[in-house]
Amino acid sequence: MSSSSTDATLVDVVMPQMGVSVAEGTVAEWAKEPGDWVDADETICVISTDKIDTDLPAPASGRLTEIEIVAGETVPVGTVLARIDTGGKPGEAHAAEDVGPPEPRSEAAAAAKASVQPEEKASGVRPQASGNGQGAKRFSPVVMRMAAEHDIDLSAIEGTGRGGRVTKKDVVAYLDEGGEAAAPLHIESPYRAEPEPPDARRLTPDAPEPPAPEAPSTLSRMRRSIGQHMKRSLETAATCTTWTEADMFRIEAARERLSLTALPLVARCAIAALREHPQLNAWLEGERYTRHDAVHLGIAVSLGDEGLIVPVIHDAHELSAEGLARRIKDLARRARAGELTPDEVRGGTFTITNPGQHGSIMATPVINQPQVAILDLEAVVKRPVVIDDAIAIRPMTIFGLSWDHRALDGVLAAQFLASLRRHVESWDGT
Amino acid sequence: MATETARSGETEHLIRDDRVALLRYMLLMRGIEERAMMLYRQGKVPGSFYDGFGQEAVSAGAAFAMGPKDRLCVLHRDLAAHLVRGVTPARIFGQYMGRAGGVTAGRDGNVHFGDWRLGCVGMVSMLPDMMLVATGMAMAFKLRHEQRCALTWFGDGSTSRGDFHEAMNWAGVQKLPVVFVLENNQFAYSTPLEAQFAVDPVHRAEGYGFPGWSVDGNDVEAVFEATREARERALVGEGPTLIACETMRMHGHAAHDDMKYVDKTRLEEWRRKDPIERQERVLEGLGVDVAAVREGVAREIEAGVEEALAMPMPDPETATEGVFCEGEANVLGDGQAPWSEVQS
Amino acid sequence: MPTMTYLQAITDGLRSEMRADERVFCMGEDIGVFGGAFKVTDGFIDEFGPDRVMDTPLAESGIVGTAVGAAVVGMRPVCEMQFSDFISCGFDQLVNVAGKMHYRQGLAVPITVRLPTGGGFSGGPFHSQNPEAWFMQSPGIKIVAPATAEDAKGLLISAIRDPNPVLFCEHKFLYRRVKGEVEEGANATPMRARIARDGDTLVVITYGAMVHTALEATAELEGVRVLDLRSLVPLDEEAILESVRACSKVVIVDEANELCAAGAQVAALVAERGFEDLDGPVVRVATPNVPIPFSPPLEQAVLPSVDRVKEACVELVEY
């Protein structure tokens, strides 16, 4: 496969391909020396491959200017072995070497550089979406699936794909930065759905108000219901709140490893603490105090401006952290979609509320009656702490427990929190 | 290796029972095919229906000369070969009707079958592909120095295709123990011989390096004798033989062909040479109760039909199974060999 | 572990099986005395004799057909088409006799057909084809296509041991250009895909010589996975879908002509069963539907080049 450079007078002598599978060859011996005149087709050297030995005919007439590859050397097919200067005439003293920059060695390479790429563009990848950009944004199937699974509002994500497209990478990054897997949990106290007493309805003003831009509006039924429940709790229970700090180092590590949020992990620890202090897993209805063995865990879920609701994970003590995470996700999603069944908002024995991702560090939650305690999780913040008389940076959080002094004393509350803290700080995956 | 012509019907290699058996197999073949044609017309046989009416001697005679370890590629007008090897009438009717109990369990139709346990390879429609398969089997026998042969039938039309030549050439150059039985029934569908080739294929054998013999295809004992000799040649390492059996396709190419293109006079001439009638006369001359043979065959056939009609259709759920062999590869087994000289 | 070329690995695997199993024998044109057009069976006739290293007549239909016959009586023929292109002369025997036999008749046909495939060296239209897709469409035929020396040996051994007809697509361009470590002994490679390079940004799915093209094209791109199919029938659907789940962006490369190539089936599979994992369109890079031309600039323009594959990947990553 000898080739010629079209402009310069130097012609390359290259290692030919003797057979479709041959990749290299050896120069057995040179028949000419630098300075020698060589005629086109005259044998210039002998080459050997593992298939065959052959004479290599010179590709052009001229003076052999330089030998690049000495006898005995093995080189890949296409390697320049020597050069012939076609500018001279036989008998002339050979001219200076290296006339001008080397042209591409083979016509193939030259052609490939210059060639128009074939019609078949690799891409059909020009996104159509850039055309119908106004209004509806388009999301790829995997992005849609992940958004559904993790309950993400895609409009909240900055797209880095072509034309501002939200890519899978963008979603993954968003989740990693702890957009919580579930949407924000509520800030205020829990709400327990119960059928409205018939007379309550009559108390509601029925007459439509004349529309006026600045006229005061009436609270929604849900809002009024929540309000009533909160007020009753604060009026009947002897509500106290105790707090403790906890080092979330292990929980944070487990979070990452298991791709969960902190809530199910802490819930798991809370359940363990409740088993150790079952007095907090109880109901107080008037004078009647019922301690429960099973933990039916309520998780407060915000419904945005409309209010909040507390779906219950029945028999939560039988679930692992992953199991709790799945249940929480499912209940939260259905709560927001209005798909909870009555059984799913009844029968809780303990409640956890977790509004922490907005940055607040402590709160005084209202007890979700007839339960006797409620646990509040706030933000996890990196702080400098003292460990073994040295300063360390740890992810810290404050657990708040509101409890009913009619049913228990502060010591018990503090013990519960101590147990919870112990479980959290010694988390090993169980 | 000049072409040898018709062998005589005389042979000292057949005892009386063998000669009766030859008739029986021909009667069975014809009886099954006639019965199956009725079933076809009754809508119980799907697809097309092919028979070898009038050609029974070619398959009965040749198959009868095989030993249990020999291997056969059987074609669509060679039903007697399957019967000789041991396939029961019930399974054949089941095969025609596409039942689960048919030889291919409904996977292929009509005579596209071969019971591998009995040493037969089922044909494909592309003719004469099976000539190469038979050549390959013979090749293996030779490589392993085994005393056995392979045999295949093929028609006059198929000799025009490349595989005929590749097989003949291959068998000839490697001197393989294969017997090529050319069933020249005068027509390939509607194409007569004069439109098929310029030279009678029997002469081609010489061109490939081995003998070609012409045989009266309607004389079952002549067909037997020629095949027996060809087999001997194969077993002693003398290579292949082409046996060109001259016969006539008395029915259409298939049930849907009314064969208007065949001259009626010609058909009548061949009818007078019917192979079954000829063998019956031979046996009557030996004092055999031919009527009893016929009756026995008729009973066997009816029993077979009854058994087949009771077979269920294949389960549609199984339609995609069995494309690949999972597990150990099975190998052709030995067939029945009723000829007294090779009885197993 | 010895290092050897792709071609030497084929020789090694073949020799290993012939030594281990006396039923195995080779048949093909010029493979005995001459040692094979590519020297795969060089020296074999001295070790195994002319019966087991058979120089056949020039008859591809004959080679495949007689191999079927030998196989059904218990042998393990390894036939060779001198160039994969010539399998067209044996198409009927392969597709209608060998492929359909087990389904129809319950009879196994354990033949191996070695097909030197592929182009890239001015072989021209009749010595450069990749005919895999013709046979993917034919039920009953398995097809394997190694890209590495180790798999060349391992897949050949698997093919020979398989009780079904198997086409072994050995890529001519890789014969002496690819070297690798090959384990001693007779190790069969399963007919499944392998990850040639791991990653999760995008996956290039391909086989044969294009595996090396893909690896080179994406060497400098971050996180690009290359999935080497290794087997076309059976097609490792699980591995393909797992890669789609992990990477969500797919580029499929075929050296064969684009229309209905193996990659088209992969694309259909991904579109149907990997839909919810996709973060971009399924992209194909393939040779256009032309006979493979002879002159180097023409040939290089049609075969998927490193640049063309790289460009497709870059675009899709940015999508």
- Measured between beta carbons, which residues in chain A are less than 8 angstroms from residue C288? 118-120
* C-alpha A33: how far from chain center: 66
Per this entry, what is the length of chain C? 319
* Per-residue pLDDT at A77 exceeds 50: yes
Strand order in the sheet with A10-14: A10-14, A80-85, A62-67, A37-38
Which residues, in sequence order, are bridge partners of residue C257? C287
Q: Which of B125, B136, B162 sits opposite C70 (nearest CB)?
A: B136
Distance from CA of C63 to the nearest CA of A (A): 24
Which segment of A23-27, A124-128, B280-284, C172-176 scores lowest on mean pLDDT? A124-128
Distance from CA of C313 to the nearest CA of A (A): 8
> Alpha helix (H) ranges present in C149-285?
149-161, 209-217, 237-247, 262-273
Report chain A's mean pLDDT, rounded to a whole number.
Answer: 79
* Per-residue pLDDT at A37 exceeds 50: yes
Report chain C's mean pLDDT, rounded to a whole number.
Answer: 97
At what angle are helices B162-174 and C60-72 packed, to 10 degrees? 70
Q: What region does A121 belong to: left with phi over 0, alpha with psi -120 to 50, or beta?
A: beta
Dihedral over alpha carbons A174, A175, A177, A183 (to 10 degrees): 100
Between residues B138 and A78, the one the model is more confident about:
B138
CA distance C93 to B134: 13
Q: What is the pLDDT of residue A253?
A: 87
Give the highest mean pLDDT range of A22-36, A117-131, B167-181: B167-181
Q: What is the DSSP letter of C294?
A: S
What average pLDDT does this structure show over C204-218? 98
Is residue A36 within 8 Å of residue A62, measured between CB atoms?
Answer: no
* Chain C stretch 61-90, residues whose beta carbon is closer than 8 A to a beta carbon of chain B: 61-62, 64-75
What average pLDDT does this structure show over A357-380? 90
Interface-testing mutation among C23, C54, C73, with chain B (most B C-beta atoms within 10 A): C73
Counting as contact any 3 or more CB pairs under 8 A, the partners of A are: C
Dihedral over alpha carbons C61, B144, C99, B163 (to 10 degrees): 20
Instruction: State yes or no: chains B and C have 3 or more CB pairs below 8 A.
Output: yes
Pairing of strands C166-171, C112-117: parallel
* Per-residue pLDDT at C206 exceeds 60: yes
B329 close contact with C: CB closer than 8 A: yes
Report residue C256: phi and psi, to 5°. Answer: -70, 165
Enumerate residues 6+ apart whose C-beta is below 8 A from B30. Answer: B53, B56, B276
Interface touch C172/A107, C-beta < 8 Å = no
Distance from CA of C276 to the nearest CA of A (A): 5
Q: What is the pLDDT of residue A361?
A: 87
- Measured between beta carbons, which residues in chain A are less than 8 angstroms from residue C311? 122-123
* Closest alpha carbon to B270 in B256, B250, B251, B284: B250
List of E strands, B132-211? 150-155, 178-184, 187-188, 191-192
- Measured between beta carbons, which residues in chain C are less than 8 angstroms from residue B141? 73
Between residues A52 and B145, the one the model is more confident about:
B145
CA distance B102 to B108: 10
Residue C195's H or E segment, with its range, is strand C194-197
Is residue B220 within 8 Å of residue B275, measured between CB atoms?
Answer: yes
ipTM of the complex: 0.91
CA distance A320 to A429: 9
What average pLDDT does this structure show over A40-45? 85
Q: Which of C56, C97, C139 sits opposite B133 (nearest CB)?
A: C97
CA distance B74 to B103: 14
CA distance B232 to B225: 11
Q: What is the pLDDT of residue B8?
A: 47
The two tokens of residue A152 are: 């993400």
Pairing of strands A301-302, A373-377: unpaired
C49 close contact with B: CB closer than 8 A: no
Enumerate residues 6+ apart whose C-beta is below 8 A from A322. Answer: A258, A260, A264
Q: What is the pLDDT of residue A134?
A: 41
* Per-residue pLDDT at A176 exceeds 80: yes
Distance from CA of B308 to the nearest CA of C (A): 19
pTM as predicted: 0.69
B162 close contact with C: CB closer than 8 A: yes
Interface touch C96/B324, C-beta < 8 Å = no
Classify B246 as helix, strand or coil: strand
Choose, from A98, A409, A423, A428, the residue flagged as catalytic: A409
Is residue B136 within 8 Å of residue B101, measured between CB atoms?
Answer: no
Choose, from A55, A293, A405, A428, the residue flagged as catalytic: A405
Q: What is the pLDDT of residue B123?
A: 96
Separation in Å, CA B325 to CA A67, A365, C110, C166: 61, 69, 9, 12
Percentage with pLDDT > 90 across chain C: 99
CA distance B254 to A21: 52
A82 close contact with C: CB closer than 8 A: no
* Closest alpha carbon to C52 in C34, C38, C32: C32
What average pLDDT does this structure show over A4-14? 69
Is residue C167 within 8 Å of residue C115, measured between CB atoms?
Answer: yes
The two tokens of residue A28 are: 């057995």
Percentage with pLDDT > 70 across chain A: 76
> Alpha helix (H) ranges present in chain C?
6-20, 44-48, 60-72, 91-92, 99-105, 132-136, 149-161, 209-217, 237-247, 262-273, 296-302, 306-318
Percentage with pLDDT > 90 across chain A: 34
Classify B124 as helix, strand or coil: coil
Between residues A60 and C83, the one the model is more confident about:
C83
B234 close contact with C: CB closer than 8 A: no
Distance from CA of C279 to the nearest CA of A (A): 5
The two tokens of residue A22 are: 């041959």
Interface touch A127/C302, C-beta < 8 Å = no
A409 an active-site residue? yes
* Closest alpha carbon to C297 in A282, A368, A3: A3
- Measured between beta carbons, which residues in chain B are less than 8 angstroms from residue C96? 124-126, 129
Q: How many CB pairs under 8 A join B and C?
A: 144
* C-alpha B319: how far from chain center: 29
Is residue A311 within 8 Å of residue A299, measured between CB atoms?
Answer: yes
Residue A204 binned pLDDT confidence (cut-offs 50, 70, 90): very low
C163 close contact with A: CB closer than 8 A: no
A217 close contact with C: CB closer than 8 A: no
Enumerate residues 6+ apart whose C-beta is below 8 A from B274. Answer: B54, B218
* Closest alpha carbon to B205 in B236, B153, B167, B259: B167
CA distance A357 to A177: 11
- Measured between beta carbons, which residues in chain C are less than 8 angstroms from residue B126? 92, 96-97
Is residue B66 within 8 Å of residue B83, measured between CB atoms?
Answer: no
C102 an active-site residue? no
The two tokens of residue A150 are: 């993790």
Is residue A194 within 8 Å of residue A370, measured between CB atoms?
Answer: no
| Per-residue pLDDT tens listing for chain B (344 residues) | 334 444 445 578 999 999 999 999 999 999 999 999 999 999 999 998 999 999 999 999 999 999 999 999 999 999 999 999 999 999 999 999 999 999 999 999 999 999 999 999 999 999 999 999 999 999 999 999 999 999 999 999 999 999 999 999 999 999 999 999 999 999 999 999 999 999 999 999 999 999 999 999 999 999 999 999 999 999 999 999 999 999 999 998 888 888 888 999 999 999 999 999 999 999 999 999 999 999 999 999 999 999 999 999 999 999 999 999 999 999 999 999 999 999 85
Which amino acid belongs to residue B308? A
- Measured between beta carbons, which residues in chain C are less than 8 angstroms from residue A106? 296
Per this entry, what is the length of chain A? 430
Pairing of strands B187-188, B241-246: unpaired
Interface-testing mutation among C85, C200, C248, C277, with chain A (most A C-beta atoms within 10 A): C248
The two tokens of residue C106 are: 């319950």
Interface touch C107/B330, C-beta < 8 Å = yes
- What digits encode the pLDDT tens for the residues C2-38? 999 999 999 999 999 999 999 999 999 999 999 999 9
- What digits encode the pLDDT tens for the residues A236-248? 999 999 999 999 9
* Per-residue pLDDT at A181 exceeds 50: no
CA distance B48 to C65: 27
CA distance A92 to A35: 10
* Per-residue pLDDT at A100 exceeds 50: no
Q: Which of C69, C104, C109 sits opposite B140 (nearest CB)?
A: C69
Lookup result for tokens 């007839």: A370
- Cis before A370? omega within 30: yes
Enumerate residues 6+ apart whose C-beta is below 8 A from A409. Answer: none
C38 close contact with A: CB closer than 8 A: yes
Classify B235 as helix, strand or coil: helix
Interface touch C102/B173, C-beta < 8 Å = no
